[in-house]
Amino acid sequence: MNYSNKIVRWIIFIVGIILMSFGIAIVTQAGIGTSPISSLPLVSSYVTDYSFGETTFFINVILVILQVLILRKDFRWTIFLQIPLVYLFAIAIDISMSNTQFLTTDHLALQIMINIFGIIVMGLGIACEVWSNIMMLPGEGFVLAVALKSKKPFHKIKVINDVTLVILAILLSLVYFHGLKGIGLGTLISAVLTGYSVHFWTLVIRKILK
């Protein structure tokens, strides 16, 4: 890979992180639930005095540590580079949440439309991250580590991981709020449509940057 190509890939990677944060914020502001991978950080932010971005950072740092424990002698020190990257991601989430407050509404039809729009934006961000082939954020890095050690397909571990995060978020919400907060129809829609959004944008990016 030549120097200019590396720069292009890094630019696309950073743009991807920003788009991902913006998409997550839009999905969340719709008010019918956030994305599965963000469900635990969101509910944790409701329970604590920390922001959505801060809880995202803390939980992702735990995922970095878990990667080291899972991979053991197979882990590479470059894994720790995920920490500054997820810090950037966390800051971007808080900024995006502040700039998308106007999207809040009580009308279900509009909430669903906003949620889907957020999924489209988030899918573009994920596709940029994947295409850049720079580095995975801790959420995907953890899934990859488990997949490598368990010798199971990445997508199956990804589903199990997302379901686990949602279950933990539901339990946390039930304990503290005696009901569901931050999880709902939008979480289900996100779980179903995000993969299709990523696939669509991956094809578009490959065609443009071929």
**Tens of pLDDT, residues 47-73:** 998 999 999 999 999 999 999 999 888
Total tally of structural domains belonging to the chain: 1
Q: Burial-class residue 7 by CB neighbours within 10 Å (0-12, 13-18, 19+).
A: exposed
Domain that holds residue 33: 3-208
Reported as a pLDDT band with limits 50, 70 and 90, residue 195 is confident
Alpha helix locations (H) across the chain? 3-29, 36-47, 52-71, 82-99, 108-132, 138-150, 154-177, 185-208
Please provide the average confidence, as pLDDT, over all residues in the chain. Answer: 91
The one-letter code for the residue type at 13 is F
Q: Is the pLDDT of residue 210 over 70?
A: no
pLDDT, residue 1, reads: 53
Residue 3 has pLDDT above 80, yes or no: no
Q: Residue 2: is its pLDDT beyond 70?
A: no
Q: How far is Cα 32 from Cα 182, in angstroms, rounded to an integer?
A: 7
Residues 159, 126, 166: CA angle, nearest 5 degrees: 35
Question: What is the rounded distance in angstroms from the CA atom of residue 120 to the CA atom of residue 113?
Answer: 11
pLDDT at 188: 93
> Each residue of 25-34: pLDDT tens digit?
999 999 999 9
Residue 131 has what pLDDT?
Answer: 87
Q: For 5, how many CA atoms within 13 A lie in the half-sphere containing its CB?
A: 6
Return the structure tokens found at 147: 């997949």
Q: Per the structure block, which two tokens stand in for 92?
A: 């971007």
Which residues have CB under 8 Å from 20's CB, separation 6+?
89, 92, 122, 125, 126, 129
Quick one: pLDDT band at residue 133, thresholds 50, 70, 90? confident
What is the DSSP-derived secondary structure letter of residue 152? Answer: -
Of the candidates 46, 15, 32, 197, the residue with the CA atom closest to the CA atom of residue 103:
32
Q: What is the pLDDT of residues 151-185, one digit of tens each?
A: 888 888 888 988 999 999 999 999 999 999 999 99
Give every CB contact of residue 71 below 8 A, 6+ residues apart in sequence.
79, 145, 148, 149
Q: 24-33, 98-107, 145-154 — which is least confidently predicted?
A: 145-154
* pLDDT higher than 80, residue 128: yes
Give the residue-averaged pLDDT of 129-148: 87
